[in-house]
Chains A and B, each alone.
Chain A
Amino acid sequence: MDQNIIYEGRGVTTGYEKGARRTVIHENLDFTLYSGELTCLLGCNGAGKSTLLRSLTASQPVLGGELLLMGKRLEEYTERERSKNIGIVLTERTQSGGLTVYELVALGRQPHTGFFGRLTRNDKELVAEAIEAVGMKKKTNCYVAELSDGERQKAMIAKALVQECPLIILDEPTAFLDVESRIEIMTLLRKVATEESKAVLLSTHDVEQAMTLGDRLWTMTTDRKMYCGVTEDLVLCDVMNRLFEHPTISFDQLRGCYQSIRKNEKAVSLHCAEPSLYYWAQNALERNGYDCVHTSDGQLLPTLSVESPDRIIWTKGKTAINFGSFAELITYLRTLTAH
C-alpha cells in the first residue's frame, strides 16, 4: 500500500510560554504520521502527551520547530481549512446529551456545510455511513445522554469520520472505558486507519493494546525524549523500559507487559507441555516466591512438570507429589514456606 506522509514535525519544541516565563516540555522532536497507520502515543502522566497533541491540533503554539500538515505549514491554515484536515476526539464531557446520535455526528459536517449548517443529501449519506461504520446504527435516533461511555466515544469517532479529515487525533479515547469497550474502540480505530487509509494518532495508557494494535509507537520516556518507531523495534531495543522511572517496575520483553520486579530467593526447574501452561505455571510460581529456570539438571533444584492443568507433578530429590490443580500446588508451596 502506498503510504503518504500526512503530518511531519521537524525539531519541534513543545511547552508553554507565559510572558517571559518559558516552560519547555520537549525539545527537538522529529516525527512523521503516515496514512493508513495507527500510531499510539505512550507516556506516563505528566510526560507531555496532551501538550504535544494540543500543539499538533494548533490549540496551543509550538515554541520552536516546524509542523507540516499535508506538506503545508500548520500556521498557514485557516481554522476552517484545518477543521477539514484534522478531526479530534477528546475525553472531556460535553453538553450534548440533548442531541440524538445522528445530530451529534452531523455536527462533524460543519466544516463542509454552509452558513446555516443545512445538510445536503451527500452529507446525510456520509453521516449514516459513519454511524454504521462505528457500529451504532441501532442507536442512530437515541439521545447521547442514553449512551454508555464507550458508545459516546464511538459517536465522537463517527463525528471525526464525517469531517473527512486525513488525520484523526484522539486524546486518551479509551480512558474510563471497560476492557471490552477498550478493545472494541482500538480495533475500530485500527479499521478506520487501514480501511479508510487515514492517519490515526492516539494517546493512551493501555500499553498492551497499543503494542498489539498500533503500527507505530511514539514513546515518551522519562528523560524527556520521544522515540518513534514500529512497535517491535522499540520493544526489542529496550525503549519500553524507559517509559517509567520506577526502580521496581520493569518491562517484560517476553510477555510484553510491565511488572514489578520480584526478587525470589527460591528457584524451580519448570517443564511444561505447552507454552500457555508454561506461562501460567511461571505466573503462579513467581507470585509464590519461586524463580523459574530452564535447566534440566534437576539435582539441586526441585522440578515441576505440568502436563495438563490437572496433572502437575512436583519432584524434589526422590519424592514426587501429584497435584490436580494449581490451587493444590499453591497450598503445598505455602506449607513449605511456613516450615
Chain B
Amino acid sequence: MMSKGYICSGVLVVLVILLVMANLTVGTVSIPFADVCDILIGKEHENAGWQFIVWETRFPQTITAIFSGAALAVSGLMLQTAFSNPLAGPSILGINSGASLGVAFVMLAGGGSIATATFSLSGFFAILLGAFLGAALVLSVILFLSTLIRSNVMLLIAGIMIGYIASSAISLLNFFSTAEGVHSYMIWGMGNFGGVARDQLPLFILVMSVGLLMAIMLIKPLNALLLGQNYAENLGVNIRRTRNLLLIATGLLTAVTTAFCGPISFIGLAVPHMARLMLGTSNHNSLMPVTILVGGCVALLCNLICILPGESGIIPLNAVTPMLGAPVIIYVIVNQRRIQYFN
C-alpha cells in the first residue's frame, strides 16, 4: 500500500516538472525551450524581453498554479473528510463564493482602484483580508448548520444556497458600483493564475506553505475522522480543536487562492477523487501528499490549456476547470457502487 503511494508520487513529480517546463515555454510570445532553460539556470540572455517574460510573468504564474491547485485540492480533501461527504468542496459549500463576496466588497467599495494586479500593499492586504473573512464567515455558517442538519445531501444543498446568497449580494454590490469596479471584478471572476506578481510571490508561497503544512499536520485526526466524530473522539481526538484548525487551514488556503486567482471551481471537488482513484485508499497518510501533487498537476494542465492559443489570447481559467473536473465527478457518481470509499 505504501509503495503504491511512492510510485504515484514519483510519477506525479515527474509530471509536475514536465508541465512546469511546458508552462514556461508556451505563451503569447514563443520562446524556444533551450532559451527558457538558459534563462532559468540564470544565464544572462541576449534577449532581455524574453528574460523578462520568463521571470516576471511565466515563472510566477507557474508557481502560483502549482500552489493554488494544491491548496484547493487539499481544502477539498479536508472538507470531504470533515463533513463525511465525498461531494463536498470549497466551491460546492459556498466557501469560494464567501471569499468572492469579501473580495467584491473590497474591490467595488474601492471603485476599481483596488485590484490584485495593481500592486499597492494596502489594497492587496485589504483584498486578502476580505477574502479570508468572507471564506471564514461561510465556513462558520456551514459548520453551524452541520450541527443542525444531519443529512449530508441536505447540508450540501444548504451550502449551495449560501453560495447563491453570496452571489446575489455580489450582484447587488455590482449594481451600486462604478463601471471600473465592475470591470475589474469581472476580469478577476474569470479566474487566472497570473494574478500574483513577481514581488508578491514570496509572501504568497509563505502563506500557502503555512496552510499546506497545517493540512499535513492534521493527517492523523483526519484519519480518525473517517470513522465519524464519535469514534474519533474515542481515539483521543479533540474534536473542537481539530474542527477549528480545519476551518482555519481551509479558509486560509481557499481565501488566498480566491483573492489572487479568482473563484476557481472544480479543482477542490475533483482532485481528491482523482487521488483516491489513483491510490485506491482514503488513508490520508498517502492521500494527502498525492492530493497535493495531483492538485499541482491539474492546475498546471489547466493553465497550459489557457495559454495554448498563444498570440490570440488567454482562455479564462473557469472555462477550463469544469471541462476537466465535471467528468471526473460524473464518473465517480456513476460508479459509486464500485468505488470503495463510498461504502
Binding site for B on A (CB under 8 A): 57, 59, 79-80, 82-84, 86-88, 90, 92, 94-100, 103-104, 107-108, 110-111, 113, 115-117, 143-146, 163
Contacts and interface: CB of A to CB of B under 8 A. Distances in A.
B265 interface: no
B227 interface: yes
Count class of interface residues, chain B = 20 to 34
Contact of A110 (B84, B86, B220): B220
Given A80-B236, A110-B236, A117-B219, A94 B231 contact: yes
A98 B237 CA distance: 21
Given A100-B1, A145-B340, A107 B227 contact: yes
A94 B227 contact: yes
Contacts of B248: none
A115 B276 CA distance: 23
Nearest to A88: B234
B118 interface: no
A87 B234 contact: yes
Contacts of A111: 235-236
A84 B233 CA distance: 12
Nearest to B341: A98
A92 B233 CA distance: 14
B228 interface: yes
Contacts of B343: 97, 144-145
A143 B226 CA distance: 14
A145 B276 CA distance: 14
Contact of B238 (A79, A88, A99, A103): A79
A113 B220 CA distance: 10
Contact of A86 (B231, B234, B280, B281): B234
Contacts, number: 94
A99 B230 contact: no
B7 interface: no
A96 B282 contact: yes
Given A94-B231, A100-B1, A103-B283, A79 B237 contact: yes
Given A79-B236, A107-B235, A116-B219, A97 B283 contact: no
A145 B283 CA distance: 14
A94 B220 contact: no
A97 B341 contact: yes
A95 B226 contact: yes
A-B pairs with lowest CB-CB distance, top 9? A98-B341, A98-B282, A83-B236, A145-B343, A145-B340, A97-B343, A117-B220, A80-B236, A143-B340
Q: Which of B220, B231, B276, B281 is packed against the most chain A CB atoms within 10 Å? A: B231
B281 A98 contact: yes
A104 B219 CA distance: 15
Given A115-B220, A145-B340, A145-B341, A99 B226 contact: yes
Given A59-B230, A92-B230, A117-B223, 12 more contacts: A82-B236, A83-B236, A92-B228, A94-B227, A95-B81, A97-B282, A98-B341, A104-B227, A107-B224, A111-B236, A144-B340, A146-B340
Q: Which of A108, A113, A145 is packed against the most chain B CB atoms within 10 Å? A: A145
Interface string B39-58: 00000000000000000000
B340 A108 contact: no
Contacts of A115: 217, 220
A77 B282 CA distance: 31
Contacts of A146: 340
Interface string B201-226: 00000000000000001011001101
B176 interface: no
B164 interface: no
A176 to B, nearest CB: 15
